[in-house]
Structure 1
Amino acid sequence: MNETCDLLVIGGGINGAGIARDAAGRGLKVMLVEKDDLGSHTSSASTKLVHGGLRYLEHYEFRLVAESLREREVLLRNAPHIIWPLRFVMPHEPSMRPKWMLRLGLALYDRIGGRMSLPKSKGIDLRIAPHRGILQDRLKSGFEYSDCWVEDARLVVLTAKDAEEHGAAVQVRTECTALERGRQAWGATLRDESGERTVTARAVVNAAGPFVDQVAKRALGQGTPAHLRLVKGSHIIVSRRFPGGHAYIFQQPDGRIVFAIPYERDFTLIGTTDLLYDGDLDAVWITPEEIAYLCEAASRYFASAVTADEIVSTYSGVRPLYEDNAAKNSTVTRDYVFELDAEGGAPILSVYGGKITTYRKLAEHALEKLGKVFDVPGKTWTAHAHLPGGDMPEGDFAAFLWRASERYAWIPPEMLLRLARAYGTRLDAVIGNADSLDGLGPHMGGNLYEAELRYLVDAEYARAVEDVLWRRSKLGLHLPANAKQAVADWFAAQS
């Protein structure tokens, strides 16, 4: 029997998940398909920030910065378990941007988005704790400002989950291998582990990220009129380089900036690079040159040099940026652009660019654009809708964690913090009826038990060991080899 839907969304990254969620909440019958795991490409390879984009001010992208800062407030309110404030320290490097320029840029950053809940920027003395001895002695002063951290892959999963809870069909490891256009609908061939089937959709959204042109060619026989610039960004993870909950933002001689961010309690995340990419989009890896660049970038500021032998892990992703003919990859716009094709029959909307911070607004604008040729019912609704697990009173994560510690006194504090951050108010669904660690089922290692694995499979689309260890969590950084093997064995036993 042929399946039908109003809207087929191709691509399970943050943009596809956001569009599927918004559309489903408006009453459309939506199907979201992703050829791999949710967020398994660009969306889980970010610097993991919800931010306005301070450096975009230099390129006069005032609208993008203002929208991003407003969205930062929306996301912080709607997902306080996976998004939280982070202070950034920018040392003043006299050989680069002058101090007056930094001060002026930060003053604008504090105001351009309207009324903000986070602390404003201020000047700081780097010769005192916690920076003294961490940064090089030549660095005397700097500035501090606010942005937010986000668990990027979890943001994708929770957005898709909310789409499902509003009626969308979310299908992972399901590839759209062909698209045939009719006057009133598209015929889409979908392939998963059970074989191929055909779905009829009144409209298609091509949110395939770096694969967007491939899908467009599959649908239209040629790429869309927009040009795509594929830019690879890589990160390195090293052991914790500095105490405190702040991050550093380091200016570089090439005009770029590199972040050094506290990561997963025991580590520091350093990134990112900006390189044109024309390789295999399913096998994106850091190069020795990128490793050298990031080590050198951080070593310009830290008192002790960062070396390649300190690296415990790396990750890379390809950003599908809209080609605006900028001279440098770092200055290509991070704004989003839509290409709508409805002249030859049923409509298809292709999405270019975008950033995690603006994904919710991108979804609204995508449906507004599609609504010019396709009946999109309902009104915008996501600005005041919590993501799964985010519905805690007044968005107070600390109070939520305290109540959880009283209810689950038998869970070790470190484990409870990890679970509360990951699942928020869905914590009870993970724990189930257990009243002891033994009640959570077999112990995989570290603070991972079978109950959590079952929840991730049943409720969060996990299908393989890497889905759990590297996207829905970062336990891959913490668990010993035998524990990782135990998780792999568990998945193998489920098939």
Structure 2
Amino acid sequence: MSADYDLLIIGGGINGAGIARDAAGRGAKVLLVEKDDLASHTSSASTKLVHGGLRYLEHFEFRLVRESLIERERLLKIAPHIIWPLRFVLPHDKGLRPKWMLRLGLFLYDNLGGRKLLPPTRTVDLRQLPHAEILEDRLIKGFEYSDCWVEDARLVVLNAMDARERGAEIRTRTECTGLLRGDTHWTAMLHGEQGDARVTARIVINAAGPWVDGVLDNAIPGIKHQNLRLVKGSHLVFPKLYEGRHAYIFQNKDNRIVFAIPYEHDFTLVGTTDALFTGDPDKVEISSEEARYICDAINEYLSVDVTPEQAIWSYSGVRPLYEDNSGNNSTVTRDYVFELDDKDGAPPILSIFGGKITTYRKLAEHALEKIGGFEDRSWTADACLPGGDIDPARFDSFFAEKMAQYPWFDPEGVRRLLRAYGTRIDRIIGSAADAGDLGQHFGATLYEAELQYLVEEEFAASAEDVLWRRSKLGLHIDAEGQERVADWFSART
């Protein structure tokens, strides 16, 4: 009997979605299951950067940094609507890393990955505006370099959308509750909102993130799997702490770094932490110690101090890092590791440990190479994600074209929609002649037409899916408006 699917992918984070897209594009029959919403855990709780990992150079992870830098520009090309360049300012602080070390690290950073699209590093005088009004007087020199910003949860969703458009089946809010290995295929027990089901697959991809060891326990009973070190990263969001489009990267005395990044126009995002986590990954939140740590770190640099009480929002996620027995959470490798179990010709299960958003596409290629048996065709490096068929250098021109097409729409609303949906903005606004044609208005620039699109095309099923993952409109819409979004979803059931 032939199996229902070639691949059963467990986990709807960035790794699972990326593998589903790549495999579907090679003609594989793919089912992806996610127990919650797409990107509802680690993949929506990042610092939201597509970056090479400047600090990884200190740990001699040159291969990871090079791969990440190459992928940074590839992702910018295939998703320029949700990924865009960002300049980072790294102040030199006497007593921490010396200037020569910073210069050397940034020289390698500029050249390891064959940088083409992004501007190079330059030295900056921190006594000049705008830095003079933002940073403490003792800071004189710094370095400015390039990385990229990414809407992390949207990156996951767009990969899942593209996978579906290429033939994959995506089932959210569907948990794999059991795995039974047969002679030629796996049988998986699934539990979802529509009830229980059984499916068969030739191969299982275990991309369950913080739950990857639990899936292994299910699939291969009798062996205790302890491959992960769970490390919590938390962030605080403040009302805008400084003017300007640049971000800061601040060194800490504990050799870690903390970012301060312009966020959602009106805010500043600050983080992250590295705290060992031993609890339930479904229930992760910032601790008072982490909040104090973040504030203490940036107060070493900012001219005006902040307190945890000034933060208007926080979020936390658990990084499922491969346990390499490093003595420090900050030095545990961020590289990805595969474990393939296919002994004696048994149906294989490939488990994925670690990884980072920047290298998800390459991870997917390597995963398919690892299990073999699929069309040997690497195609994702140049194929745009949905809505991403825009020249990165022409985004402002594209915005001007859409403003001319929709002159009645709020300009910031058009820009937000373009940054979220790219060339698919027309599927939302369509032939509307004014805002009234877009249906109910929920606040900010959110209208019913967008909710309808998110349900039909992007797997959204709740107000939280929309307000805190597919967008961050929860920061801009008041409690009454958010309640009306929730009511809109309730009325659909």
Q: Contact (CA 8 Å) 1:320, 1:353: kept in 2 or not?
A: yes
In structure 2, what residue type is equivalent to 1:442?
Answer: Q
Q: Which residue of 1 aligns with 2:281?
A: 281
Cα distance in 1 for partners of 2:394, 2:211 equals 38
Q: Does 1:147 align with 2:147?
A: yes
Q: Distance in 2 between matches of 1:190 and 1:9?
A: 12
Work out the CA distance in 2 between the residues paired with 1:223 and 1:317.
27
Aligned pairs for 1:84-163 (under 5 A) are 84-163=84-163
1:464 aligned onto 2:465: no
Counterpart amino acid of residue 426 in structure 2: D
Deviations 1:143-165 (A, max 9, x none): 10000000000000001000001
Give CA deviations for 1:174-194 in whole Å, capped at 9, x if unaligned.
000000001110000111111
Q: 2:437: which partner in 1?
A: 439
Q: Is the 8 A contact 2:73 2:115 kept in 1?
A: no
- Return the alpha-carbon distance in structure 1 between the equivalents of residues 393 and 80 of structure 2: 6
How far off its partner does 1:173 sit? 0.3
Conservation of the 8 A alpha-carbon contact between 2:273 and 2:294? yes
**How far off its partner does 1:395 sit?**
5.6
- Cα drift, residue 226 of structure 1: 6.7
Residue 445 of structure 1, CA deviation: 1.5
Counterpart Cα distance in 2 of 1:70 and 1:230: 27
Give the counterpart letter for 1:408 in structure 2.
Y
Please show how residues 170-185 of structure 1 align to structure 2 within 5 Å.
Answer: 170-185=170-185
Matched with 2:364 is: 363
Letter in 1 for 2:145: Y
How far is 1:458 from its partner?
Answer: 0.5
Runs of 4+ in 1 over 6 A off after TM superposition: none
Please name the residue that 1:425 is paired with: 423
3-state SS of 1:179 partner: strand
Distance in 1 between residues matched to 2:7 and 2:477, nearest whole Å: 40
> Which deviates further from its counterpart, 219-228 or 480-489?
219-228
Question: What are structure 1's unaligned runs of at least 5 residues?
Answer: none
Note the 1:389-428 alignment, pairs <5 A: 389-393=387-391, 396-428=394-426
- Return the alpha-carbon distance in structure 2 between the equivalents of residues 209 and 224 of structure 1: 17
Distance in 1 (CA, whole Å) between partners of 2:203 and 2:279 is 31
Name the CA distance, whole Å, in 2 between partners of 1:101 and 1:3.
55
Amino acid across the alignment from 2:385: L
Q: Secondary structure at the match of 1:320?
A: strand
- 1:62 corresponding residue in structure 2: 62
Does the 8 Å contact 1:85/1:146 carry over to 2? Answer: yes
480 and 49 in structure 1: CA distance in 2 versus 1, 3 angstrom threshold: same
Q: Does 1:475 align with 2:473?
A: yes
Amino acid at match of 2:6: D
Amino acid corresponding to residue 464 of structure 2 in structure 1: E
Give the aligned residue type for 1:69: L
Task: Give the deviation of 1:432 after TM superposition.
Answer: 2.3
Cα distance, 1:196–1:447 mapped onto 2, change above 3 Å: same
Maintained 8 Å contact 1:77/1:395: no
Q: State the SS of the aligned residue for 2:158.
A: helix
| Preserved CA contact (<8 Å) 2:334 2:356 | yes
Change (3 A) 1:181 1:329: same
Give, in whole Å, the separation in 2 of the partners of 1:247 and 1:99.
20
Alpha-carbon spacing, 1:166–1:410, altered in 2? closer, same or farther (3 Å)? same
Instruction: Tell me the distance in 2 between the aligned counterparts of 1:115 and 1:142.
Output: 21
Distance 1:26 1:401 in 2: 34
Amino acid in structure 2 at the alignment position of 1:217: D
Distance in 2, Cα, partners of 1:94 & 1:119: 27
Instruction: State whether residues 229 and 323 of structure 2, in contact with CA within 8 Å, keep that contact through their aligned partners in structure 1.
Output: yes
Distance 1:242 1:223 in 2: 52
* Closer/same/farther in 2, CA of residues 391 and 274 from structure 1, 3 Å limit: same
- Give, in whole Å, the separation in 1 of the partners of 2:222 and 2:259: 38
Deviation at residue 380 of structure 1 after TM alignment: 0.7
CA distance in structure 1 between the aligned counterparts of 2:445 and 2:111, rounded to whole angstroms: 43
Confirm or deny: 8 A CA contact 1:204 1:347 kept in the other structure: yes
Q: AA paired with 1:283?
A: K
Q: What's the secondary structure of 2:330's corresponding residue? A: helix
Cα distance in 2 between the residues matched to 1:202 and 1:223: 22
Distance apart, 1:434 and its partner CA:
1.4
Shift of 1:319: 0.3
Quick one: percent identity of the two aligned structures?
63
* 2:381 partner SS: helix
The amino acid across from 2:180 in the alignment is: E
Between 1:311-320 and 1:427-436, the stretch displaced more is: 427-436
Task: Give the TM-score of the pair, scaled to structure 1.
Answer: 0.98
Q: Show the counterpart of 2:379.
A: 381
Mapped partners of 1:302, 1:75: distance in 2 = 32
Measured in 1, the distance between the counterparts of 2:155 and 2:223 equals 30
Alignment-derived partner of residue 449 in structure 1: 447
Aligned to 1:4: 4
Give 1:394 deviation, angstroms. Answer: 6.0
2:299 aligns to what?
A: 299
**Which region of structure 1 is more displaced relative to structure 2, 110-119 or 471-480?**
110-119
Q: Does structure 1 residue 193 correspond to structure 2 residue 197?
A: no
2:352 counterpart residue number: 351
Question: Does the Cα contact within 8 Å between 1:32 and 1:171 map onto a contact in 2?
Answer: yes
Q: Secondary structure at the match of 2:147?
A: strand
Task: Please give the alpha-carbon distance, in whole angstroms, between the structure 2 residues aligned to 1:491 and 1:225.
Answer: 40
In structure 2, stretches of 5+ residues that fail to align are none
Match of 1:238 in 2: 238
The amino acid across from 2:398 in the alignment is: F
Deviations 1:271-327 (A, max 9, x none): 000011010111100000000000100100000111112100000000000111111
Q: Secondary structure at the match of 1:383?
A: coil
Return closer, same or farther for 1:459/1:438 CA change in 2, 3 Å cut-off.
same
Structure 1 residue 222, shift from structure 2 partner: 5.0
Mapped partners of 2:486, 2:282: distance in 1: 21
Deviation at 1:376, TM superposition (A): 1.1
Aligned-partner residue type, residue 474 of structure 1: K
Q: Distance in 2 between matches of 1:173 and 1:463?
A: 9
Q: Which amino acid aligns with 2:114?
A: G
The one-letter amino acid of 2:268's match is T
Shift of 1:402: 1.2
Q: CA deviation at 1:225?
A: 6.3
Match of 1:328 in 2: 328
Distance apart, 1:396 and its partner CA: 2.3
What is the RMSD computed on CA atoms of the aligned residues? 1.3
Question: In terms of mean alpha carbon deviation, does 433-442 or 71-80 score higher?
Answer: 433-442
- Which residue of 2 is the match for residue 81 of structure 1? 81
Q: Deviations over 1:86-121 (max 9, x none)?
A: 000001011100011001110111001124321111
Whether contact under 8 Å (2:36, 2:174) holds in the other structure is yes
